[in-house]
Amino acid sequence: MKTIGLEEAVAMMPDGASVMIGGFMGVGTPERLMDELARQGKRDLTVIANDTATPGRGIGKLVSAGVVRKAIVSHIGLNPETQKKMIAGEMEVDLVPQGTLIERIRAAGYGLGGVLTPTGVGTLVEEGKRKLEVDGKQYLLETALRADFALVEAFLSDYYGNLVYAMTARNFNPVIAMAAQTVIVDAAHIVPVGMISPDHAVTPAVLVDFVIAHE
Amino acid sequence: MDPQTVIAKRIAQELGTGMLVNLGVGIPTLVANYVPPGLKIYFQSENGLIGTGPIPEQGMSERYLTDAAGEPVSALPGACTFDSAMSFGLIRGGHLDVTVLGGLQVDEEGHLANWMIPGKMVPGMGGAMDLVTGAKRVIVAMQHTAKGNPKIVKQCSLPLTSLRRIDLLVTELAVISFAQDRPLLLETAPGVSVKEVLAATEAALVVSKQVPHMNIEGVSS
């Protein structure tokens, strides 16, 4: 793990990159990274996340700034801008059931080609997917989903990059930290090694490439 | 009593001690207000919490502790938090006793449509498809009609949430069971006749000779 400045971290991400972003309605989303992505005027990102939050919050900032070409998410209902851009054809939105989305990401991080889920069988979600019967029950084959970058918000990082999350801000964060080529973390607190008990570390430091330096 | 309160109070009677329960946004959220004191129910919020408590007192909310709509909540003693993979493992894996969701349409087959109106409203399914597919018991809370049009129909015209049949439907007029092949009218709301329910319902309901009223405290029949 290395520490990195905010501007430099965002400069690493090229236009067109695929980026997984932690957070659930903006809770657990690294806000400073959202602000900097918008400020640097990134283009054509594929964002993989639970939702697009609300305008002015979390991923909503990226949608407003025109950073996102495609969003792979489970919910856009609380962001009218995403819906408007989707209808206008300015943004592609791939809606995935939430449990399927997180399992596709987990599958990538765990070295699996995909998962079999009963969710979506017999609905619009099954279109174009393989259906398999196992022990008399129907499942959809949902393939693994990986990305170039994962942007993670943690509550604590120690100097090595072992991570602890706070309450409901955990959500997608530890899962995306397994599924991307480069993992960038913004932690609310950076603490000395030893402050985090081995039993309490959720994400092992070995998965973390960069922690954003505190000013 | 307004329709939402009737629905929430009646559904609260379906919950019991030790159950893991997920409440959707809207009317379902109100159910928690009518759980009898002393009943120990584990409420799950799918953003990663078991032990969801009431809205915190003013000034006591914390940006890291929210419900599935991103709004501040509190947590009860014994609460625990986890990531989204475990949250949906609980939902799909047969660990969730009851899910209570809103609905746009329910049909004679017990199929629920609640996630989109093509060309009009495409909010995304969020966790709804996993909840309906995976929970041990699915209870739908919705108003009986929308602008005078039936929402309990012969066949859903809107995209389905799941092929899995719901178990129980509670509206401000009636309680309808989908445990058997055909929907069965179990109860009507206080002051509401079977005839009124049938007139507001497009789907064919099985009606027994005696249909009792909902027994919800504070309502005079």
- Tokens coding A26: 């903006």
Interface probe with A: pick from B125, B132, B163, B165, most Cβ of A within 10 Å: B125
- The pLDDT value given to residue B138: 98
Q: Which residues form the domain of B85? A: 3-207
Q: Which of residues 72-131 of A touch B (CB under 8 A)?
A: 73-78, 83, 86, 93, 95, 97-100, 102-103, 106, 117-125
Q: Summarize pLDDT for B153-172 with one digit per residue, the tens.
A: 999 999 999 999 999 999 99
A2-113+146-212: CATH superfamily: Glutaconate Coenzyme A-transferase (3.40.1080.10)
Contact of B93 with B61, CB cutoff 8 Å: no
CATH number of the domain bearing residue B104: 3.40.1080.10
Regions of chain A with pLDDT less than 50: none
Mark B109-142 as b/e (b = at least 16 C-beta within 10 Å): bbbbbbbbeeeeebbbbbbbbbbbbbbebbbbbb
Q: Which of A168, A173, A202 sits opposite B66 (nearest CB)?
A: A168
The DSSP code for B117 is B
Tokens representing B210? Answer: 């005696």
Total structural domains in chain B? 1
3-class state of residue A87 by DSSP: helix
Two structure tokens written together for A53: 């939050």
Residue B71: active-site member: no
Q: Reduced to 3 states, what is the DSSP secondary structure of residue A103?
A: helix
Residue B25 lies in a domain: yes
pTM of the model: 0.96
Q: Is B217 part of any domain?
A: no
Is residue B12, in this structure, part of any structural domain at all? Answer: yes
**Which pLDDT does position B37 carry in this prediction?**
85
Query: Per this entry, what is the length of chain B?
Result: 221
Is residue B219 domain-resident? no
Those residues whose C-beta lies under 8 Å from the C-beta of residue A8, and which sit 6 or more positions away, are: none
Domain contains B47: yes
- Nearest Cβ partner for B130 among A25, A53, A98: A98
Residue B213 lies inside a defined structural domain of this protein? no
Q: Where are the domains of chain A?
A: 2-113+146-212
**CB distance from A55 to chain B under 8 Å?**
no
Report, as ranges of residue numbers, the positions in chain B whose pLDDT lies below 50. Answer: 219-221
What is the reported pLDDT for B219?
A: 44
Distance CA B50, CA B32 (A): 14
State residue B218's pLDDT score: 58
Distance CA A169, CA A109 (A): 20
A43-95 pLDDT tens trace: 999 999 999 999 999 999 999 999 999 999 999 999 999 999 999 999 999 99
Backbone phi and psi for residue B66, each to the nearest 5 degrees, phi listed first = -140, 165
